[in-house]
A and B are shown apart, each in its own frame.
Chain A
Amino acid sequence: GAVVSQHPSWVICKSGTSVKIECRSLDFQATTMFWYRQFPKQSLMLMATSNEGSKATYEQGVEKDKFLINHASLTLSTLTVTSAHPEDSSFYICSATPARDSETQYFGPGTRLLVL
């Protein structure tokens, strides 16, 4: 149990376009989902926390208008990188917390974004 999927697993886009990444909890309902970003050889950076049906809470320094998060159901959260630029190229990873265990985070496989 506790499987989290992400789609797509990798994406290449042109500068200025928007990219949507989906995160799904496959076998549990996720009260909370998290979005992280990780640059090569660096540690995980939490971008935002989202709860189903409410606005996401963004970490300091993360532009909420650039990284749009929607958590429309207990099994799906999306991250949209708007007007992507090369500096947004990174590994984006989501995680989800089951309702039955509010502390444990299960990670999705990640989405590698390359902006040309």
Chain B
Amino acid sequence: QKEVEQNSGPLSVPEGAIASLNCTYSDRGSQSFFWYRQYSGKSPELIMSIYSNGDKEDGRFTAQLNKASQYVSLLIRDSQPSDSATYLCARAGNTPLVFGKGTRLSVIA
């Protein structure tokens, strides 16, 4: 079982809709989670981190963490074509960040 799993997509949503990106992890001891965005040909950039169960909002982005179910999600409200990218979920622990393979999001104008 992979440590961090994401649906590779592509996930296509119309402009203005909510995009929902999901990630599951296998290590119950994981405490910290991160979402990165990677545009094609560019390096990843940090969107947000989440450490506690529940929701964390930052602008149009909301991260959700459920440690009991071992999943973390990222919601993007009012999706824009500029949000089209690959979104990487990562978990921290005693080792370097473990990344999922990423979900490709396509926002259709």
Contact = CB atoms under 8 A, between A and B. Distances in A.
Interface string B91-108: 010001101111000000
A43 B34 contact: no
The size class of the interface chain A forms with chain B is: 10 to 19
A106 B97 contact: no
A103 B44 contact: no
Given A103-B32, A103-B92, A43 B97 contact: no
A46 B97 CA distance: 9
B45 interface: yes
Contacts of B46: 104-107
Which of B32, B45, B97 has its CB near the most chain A CB atoms (within 10 A)? B97
Interface of B: 32, 34, 36, 41-46, 49, 88, 90, 92, 96-97, 99-102
